[in-house]
Amino acid sequence: MKDTPGVWHNQAIPYRAEFSLNGDLSELERLTAVVAQFCTGCALDDAAEFELNLVLEELFVNSLRHGGCEGMRDCAQVRMRCAANGVEVEYRDRGRPFDPTSAPNVNIHAPLAERSDGGMGIHLVRGIMRELRYEREGEWNRVTMLRPVATNRKG
Amino acid sequence: MIHVTEETKSGWRVLSVRGRADADAADVLEAALRAAIDQHPKVAADFSALDYVSSAGLRAVIQGARAAEARQVEFAVCSLSPNVRKVFDMSGLHHILRIHGELPC
């Protein structure tokens, strides 16, 4: 799906969303809108929406800034599925090989003067998501992960 | 999209930040913080209407804090929503910033 991201639901089919992103920071606005629509459909609360948005922004911006995806059409693909134990997320990009599961840890106790500018986004992804897995599939990086939601459903 | 408005209260320059501090808006936030820090001895960032922050937004705040330290400006971050507070805490910023529940002025 390219220009009209899909989110659908009936009682037999769990909520899903699948969409592509072009290599431009302005795509964050569309990313935010699709995540919001998906979370409404899954009856997820604000915290889940916030964190899914955050995780996908961090991975996407990483693809643009460090993966060489800037300016590339359909450089990233996102799939989300609402499952019994949480939201299953798959993020793929056509950037340079990058494994977020093995990126160096950030020292969050470092004083202000010693704070590094890099690595915080991946630190947040790893802090929020569970079951992170990475593989390189041809020209694609593929990350799969779970955002547990057992305690975050509305109502 | 992010909006920053400013006013002076009891000696503090208060920047009220509304919207989303994402990678697309972080430069606006950093520029506003730096400009205020360049001109005022006490600067407070009121984040009560900040709906969202990512690492890019955190970086803008860290750069503001660094500029404040270099200029010996008092810099306070105030009124974080629970979601935003969680991101600050996960990043360890509560160790290096003055974070207030309410505005200090």
Q: Inform me whether the C-beta atom of residue A111 falls under 8 Å from chain B C-beta atoms.
A: yes
pLDDT score recorded for residue A153: 55
Whether the per-residue pLDDT at B31 is higher than 50: the answer is yes
The average pLDDT across B15-33 equals 97
Q: Inform me whether the C-beta atom of residue A54 falls under 8 Å from chain B C-beta atoms.
A: yes
pLDDT score recorded for residue A115: 83
The answer to whether the Cβ–Cβ distance between A110 and B59 falls below 8 Å is no
pLDDT score recorded for residue A154: 54
Q: What is the pTM of this model?
A: 0.91
Ranges in chain A, pLDDT < 50: 1-12, 152, 155
pLDDT score recorded for residue A14: 63
> CB burial class (10 A; 0-12, 13-18, 19+) of residue B17?
buried
The average pLDDT across B65-83 equals 96
Average pLDDT, chain B: 95
Using an 8 Å CB-CB cutoff, list chain B residues near A56. Answer: none
DSSP conformational letter for A91: E
The answer to whether the Cβ–Cβ distance between A115 and B96 falls below 8 Å is yes
Using an 8 Å CB-CB cutoff, list chain A residues near B22. Answer: 28, 32, 57
Using an 8 Å CB-CB cutoff, list chain A residues near B96. Answer: 111-112, 115
The answer to whether the Cβ–Cβ distance between B24 and A108 falls below 8 Å is no
Could you tell me which chain B residue has the CA closest to the CA of A64? B23
The answer to whether the Cβ–Cβ distance between A120 and B91 falls below 8 Å is yes
Give, in degrees to the nearest 5, the angle at Cα A48 between B44 and B45.
5
The average pLDDT across B57-69 equals 96
Give chain A's end-to-end CA distance (angstroms, integer).
31
Picking from A153, A29, A118, the residue whose alpha carbon sits closest to that of residue B52 is: A29
The answer to whether the Cβ–Cβ distance between A108 and B90 falls below 8 Å is yes
Is the ipTM, as predicted for this complex, more than 0.85? yes
Of A14 and B62, the structure prediction assigns the larger pLDDT to B62
Residue B98 banded pLDDT, cuts 50, 70, 90: confident
Determine the distance in angstroms separating the CA of B53 from the nearest CA of chain A, rounded to an integer: 8
